[in-house]
Amino acid sequence: MASKKQIENPELSLSRQFDELCTLVDAIPHLVWIGRPDGYMEYHNQRWLDYTNIPLEYTYGDGWTQSLHPDDRAGALATWQHAVQTGTPFEEEQRLRNGHTGAYRWFLVRGVPIKDTRGSIVRWFGTCTDIDDQKRIQAALLQSQERAASLMNSNIIGIFIAEEEVIIEANDTFLHMSGYTREDLRNQRMNWASMTPPTYTALCQQAHQELTHLKYMPPYEKEYVRKDGSHLPVLVGGVVSQINPHQCIYFVLDNSARKELEQRKDDFISMASHELKAPLTTLKLQNQLVKKRLERHGLHEAGAALSRLEEPIKQLERLIGELLDVSKIQAGRLEYAQEPVDLDKLLHEITTSMQQVHTTHTITVRSIPHLSLIGDKDRLGQVFINLISNAIKYSPDATTIEIDIHPSMDTVTISVRDHGIGIPPEQRKKIFERFYRITDQKQHALSGLGMGLYIVSEIIKRHNGTITVDSEVGKGSTFHVTLPYHPTRNV
């Protein structure tokens, strides 16, 4: 090898050792170098030459520094010179350029002095170990830790870590929310299950089943009982820890401001609807009275003009009624009767009445006579009136509305189908929310206050039923109402 010819050493035994050493280091999976006692580099192994793509003759002396990153050269030379002067081993991280790609990778460079029997340094032996992947992982981990620390130190979101139900770590924000102290946390006196009111037990169980199955918990609303006994409305989400699968990380947002705003809105709706109901009733009666007087005096044209006010008055009555229902639902005061309801008879009564008003559509009912269930007839009627009204409203270019009844062993499903504009997928989960209105294909909100389907869904829930929708834009929608059913005939 060329490097061996360049080496001048008066001691034959050392020369043989050097030859053996060179043979050995060529087999090592590291970049290896050898220097003289004065710091002059005299050998680099084949792996070093292959990586740097620098010819051997250009590596002697300080030639090896051309493979270093420009920002690392001064420091690397200073470290090497200090080691040569003091005779002490060194270890340093440096970036070396790949001569084929031009990219720099991190290496851990180590150098140790080789001494003879008299303790004199005869050569320096060094290795360069590729640690670039490790450095990247460390950088990513550090960045992740910094983000986690930033999140944990957030004064906006509460965070806690729990094993089963015991909270083992929490940030200051969550402690402030819950009213507990660091001492409570250290002594494991914080338990999210015991901090949850009994009314939320079923909801929490469902959320944690999703956490176990999906490895994350979609955010949901609940309350925590603070240390002083007060209740705090919150929005909670969570994920299973990737570091310790027995631990879960929870994220908590204080929801009290939003709840307070909702309560004020509900109070306003309740007050406004009550205040509007009385003058509207007076207006309706006065309109009917004046109409009759005009007709008695032969003023039929004026009476007909007043008749045209009846439909807007009915619309106002319906809207005010919905506002009252919403306020009662929010307050838990909407009353329900428990009585046998002939479903077939109820649907035919509703469709016959609506057919007389809505002559643009043909409403067909395919049902089973005398099919009965237990519930509130008026509230169930309200459900189907709303669904049929919506079917007519959202299918202006169609002519038919179809209603089908499908009983099973313990449930009965009533389907209301239209052939209208349909509901886009992104809107289907929102249509049962308060004040949400469906938009058309041009993203224009259609008329209405967005309360009907919310009321419908609440009434069905109180009957222990469900409501779902199948829809295709441009082809129509089908609402399916499923209610508990015990086969009893001839009500």
- DSSP codes joined into one string, 255-266: -HHHHHHHHHHH
In this predicted structure, what is the pLDDT of residue 439?
Answer: 61
Say how far apart CA 294 and CA 286 lie, in whole Å: 12
**CATH ID of 153-254, from 3.40.50.300, 3.30.450.20, 3.30.70.100, 2.120.10.70:** 3.30.450.20
What's the pLDDT tens digit per position in 274-296? 666 667 777 778 777 877 777 77
Torsion on CA atoms 191, 197, 199, 205, rounded to nearest 10: -10
Is the alpha carbon torsion for 482, 487, 490, 491 positive or negative? negative
> Residue 220 is encoded by which pair of tokens?
């949901």
116 torsion bin: left (phi>0), alpha (psi -120 to 50), beta (else): beta
Q: Which residue has the higher pLDDT, 143 or 72?
A: 72
Total count of residues recorded for the chain: 491
Q: Does domain 2-136 have CATH number 3.30.450.20?
A: yes
CA distances from 155 to 151, 158, 169, 201 (A): 9, 8, 16, 28
Least confident window among 153-162, 323-332, 475-484: 323-332
In this predicted structure, what is the pLDDT of residue 13?
Answer: 57
> Residue 158 is encoded by which pair of tokens?
């509460």
Say how far apart CA 200 and CA 103 lie, in whole Å: 57
Q: What percent of the chain has pLDDT over 90?
A: 42
Say how far apart CA 26 and CA 24 lie, in whole Å: 5
pLDDT at 490 over 70: no
What's the pLDDT tens digit per position in 63-121? 899 999 999 999 999 999 999 999 999 999 999 999 999 999 999 999 999 998 899 99
Whole-structure pTM value:
0.48
Q: 278: which DSSP letter? A: H
Q: 303: which DSSP letter? A: H
> Residue 60 is encoded by which pair of tokens?
């002697």
**339-484: CATH number:** 3.30.565.10
Q: 461: which DSSP letter? A: H
